[in-house]
Amino acid sequence: MSIASFFGNKINSPPPNGTIVNANENQEVNIVKLLAYNVAASSDDMVKGNVDGVAEWRLLESGGDTIVPTLAEVMTQAGIAGSDLNMDTFNITSPGTLNLIANNGIGFDSASNSGVFGDVLVSQGNAPPAWSTIALSDLPLTGYSNMNGNGLVDCASITNDAQIPLMITVPSISVAGKTTFADVPACANAPVADIDIANKAYVDATLAAADGVTTDVANIFTAINSFNVGTNIAIPGLAYASSTADAGAYVKYGEGQPAVSTQYNIWCFNGVADATWVLPDAESCGGCSILLVNGSDGVSITLTGTMRNCADVQNNDDKTGFVMKYGGSVSLSSMHMQPGFKWVVTSFNESAGTLQWL
């Protein structure tokens, strides 16, 4: 029996070396070996036609009914995924830079997708990261911070390492409000404008150049000075206050000898026994005048020193002193008379016989 007589004209003759397989009554076919494109199948392979219409063996996923391509195979077709890419239990790794690009932002949770301008991503542990704002105090600033066009708001303090002084370099800086310095601020430059702060070196140099008055040093006035509100002067041994009318403010009373000053001295003796006073050195008191008054009834006072009597035109003879009784008064001035300074008696009360020269 020929094949044609068995199958009729329903089939064509097989190709050379081809095989005709016939199914049984249960439509079961026992294939001993099937070749696709002259390649034998491997375990779990399936036949799929390629783009050239040639049958090829492809791996069939275990338990599946379709071919599951790899991501690389999908990306060779087009760079667009048609549905969500489920990466559950998988990671995306790259030896280089990984770029995630989304026109409307990148979402990390169900509440928001792109945050707002200025937000940053904050880790939430095992949960997806969330968009959040961040304060300047949250940043560990260790480098230069460019604040061009911006300001520091609610800055409690600015601290710096004591070993590295804080340097602020700006064209100009304005501080509004009262500023308190715990230490004296230093300024190396001399003031120029009327509102500039003057440092100590500038003030000292200015006072020295102007012969200014300073404390605890001798000040010399070479011109007449007017004090419109009065002057309080304290001189050892003599006190004077322009606002005080009491003569005791500039007249010394007592048993002891007062000190002489550059003011007009009035010495009033009111002791209860005779006393001897020694005039100070005339040269050290050049220009000084003294009015000596004996105000003790029945008591004499002896005044000693190098002096001359100019009241009676006896200025050629030096005197060693005089004795003055109660009610007497003598005026003396320190003058330069050859060969040196001497106390000169310019006037005295002699009519009462109160003055006796030594």
The pLDDT of residue 200 is 92
Instruction: Supply φ then ψ for residue 233, to 5 degrees.
Output: -120, 130
Contact between residue 331 and residue 346 where contact means Cβ atoms under 8 Å apart: yes
Look at 186 and 64; give whichever has higher pLDDT: 186
Task: Identify the band that residue 273 occupies on the pLDDT scale cut at 50, 70 and 90.
Answer: very high
Contact between residue 345 and residue 330 where contact means Cβ atoms under 8 Å apart: yes
Distance, CA of 292 to CA of 268 (rounded, Å): 6
| Mean pLDDT on 259-274 | 81
* Strand residue runs (E) in 97-256: 120-124, 127-132, 232-235, 238-241, 251-254
Which amino acid is residue 112, in one-letter code?
S
DSSP string, 11-52: SPPPPTT-------TT-----S--EETTEE--TTEEEEE-TT
Report percent pLDDT > 70 for the chain: 70
What is the 8-class DSSP label of residue 353? T
Tally Cβ neighbours within 10 Å of residue 47.
13
pLDDT tens digits, one per residue of 8-38: 555 566 666 666 666 677 777 666 666 766 7
What is the 8-class DSSP label of residue 112? -
What is the rounded average pLDDT for all residues in the chain? 75
Contact between residue 136 and residue 158 where contact means Cβ atoms under 8 Å apart: no
Task: Identify the band that residue 302 occupies on the pLDDT scale cut at 50, 70 and 90.
Answer: very high
Distance, CA of 192 to CA of 277 (rounded, Å): 59
Tally Cβ neighbours within 10 Å of residue 68.
9
Quote the pTM value.
0.34
Does residue 220 register a pLDDT over 80?
no
Smallest CA-to-CA distance from 310 within 331, 324, 283 is with 331
Look at 253 and 297; give whichever has higher pLDDT: 297
Element (H, E) at 291: strand 289-294
Give buried/exposed letters for 289-300 (b at 16+ CB in 10 A, else e). bbbbbbebeebb
Look at 288 and 24; give whichever has higher pLDDT: 288
DSSP string, 59-86: EPPTT-SS----HHHHHHH-S--SS---
The pLDDT of residue 63 is 40
Distance, CA of 332 to CA of 277 (rounded, Å): 14
| Mean pLDDT on 74-79 | 69
* SS3 call for 346: strand
The pLDDT of residue 290 is 87
pLDDT tens digits, one per residue of 163-208: 777 777 777 778 888 888 888 888 889 999 998 989 999 988 887 7
The pLDDT of residue 64 is 41
Which amino acid is residue 21, in one-letter code?
V
Cα angle 149, 153, 159 (rounded to 5 degrees) comes to 100
Structure tokens at 237: 């041994």
Sequence ranges of the domains in the chain: 1-80, 232-357
Structure tokens at 335: 């003058």
Smallest CA-to-CA distance from 106 within 93, 119, 96, 97 is with 119
Q: What is the CA radius of gyration of the chain?
A: 61
Distance, CA of 32 to CA of 39 (rounded, Å): 14
Cα dist. 42→47, 59, 239 in Å? Answer: 11, 8, 129
Look at 281 and 58; give whichever has higher pLDDT: 281
* SS3 call for 314: strand
Look at 247 and 181; give whichever has higher pLDDT: 181
